[in-house]
Amino acid sequence: MNKVEMTEAIVVAKAAKGVQWQEIAAVIGRSDVWTTSACLGQNTMSAEEAQQVCDFLGLGPEVVTALQVFPTKGFGPTIPTDPLLYRFFEICFVYGPTIKEIINEKVGDGIMSAIDFTMDIDKVEDPKGDRVKIVMNGKFLGYKKW
């Protein structure tokens, strides 16, 4: 069972059971973002986590195994047209050089890691219209000299 089939099996089981990602996340004590990313085939669960998720959703050993496989990550270098996805690329295009200036100035020559990295996504209620708040937190890695 590959990662695509695994994701389909999980999404169907999740819909059948009528649960949300954060309920699945609670089963293994992880955040909803990380748990979703692993179920979508972008991160790797431990054997115990995989078993707990599959027990909760009523899925078999093939899914347990597939959740532990190291994935090939990312959906290819094409910029997507889905408006929700595209807005994040737009933020990169419009604010990318600003982010670089600010990180360089505040921390130095290096990068924010996308591996030693966490992300949280929340709804912020607002009488003028609800908002979405995303917090990214990555380790700063300075360029090594040798």
By beta-carbon proximity to its own copies, the closer residue of 43 and 52 is 43
CB closer to its own copies, 47 vs 141: 141
Exposure of 45 by Cβ count < 10 A (0-12 exposed, 13-18 middle, 19+ buried)?
Answer: buried
| Cβ at position 4, least distance to its own copies in Å | 12
The yes-or-no answer on residue 49 being catalytic is no
Q: For residue 120, how far is the Cα from the chain centroid?
A: 9
- Which residue is catalytic, options 87, 105, 125, 131? 87
Rounded to an integer, what distance in angstroms lies between the CA atom of residue 37 and that of residue 139?
Answer: 19
Whether 87 is catalytic is yes
Catalytic annotation on 23?
Answer: no
Distance of closest approach, residue 89 Cβ to its own copies, in angstroms? 6
Closest CA to 43 of 121, 118, 111: 118
Residues with active-site annotation: 87, 90, 113
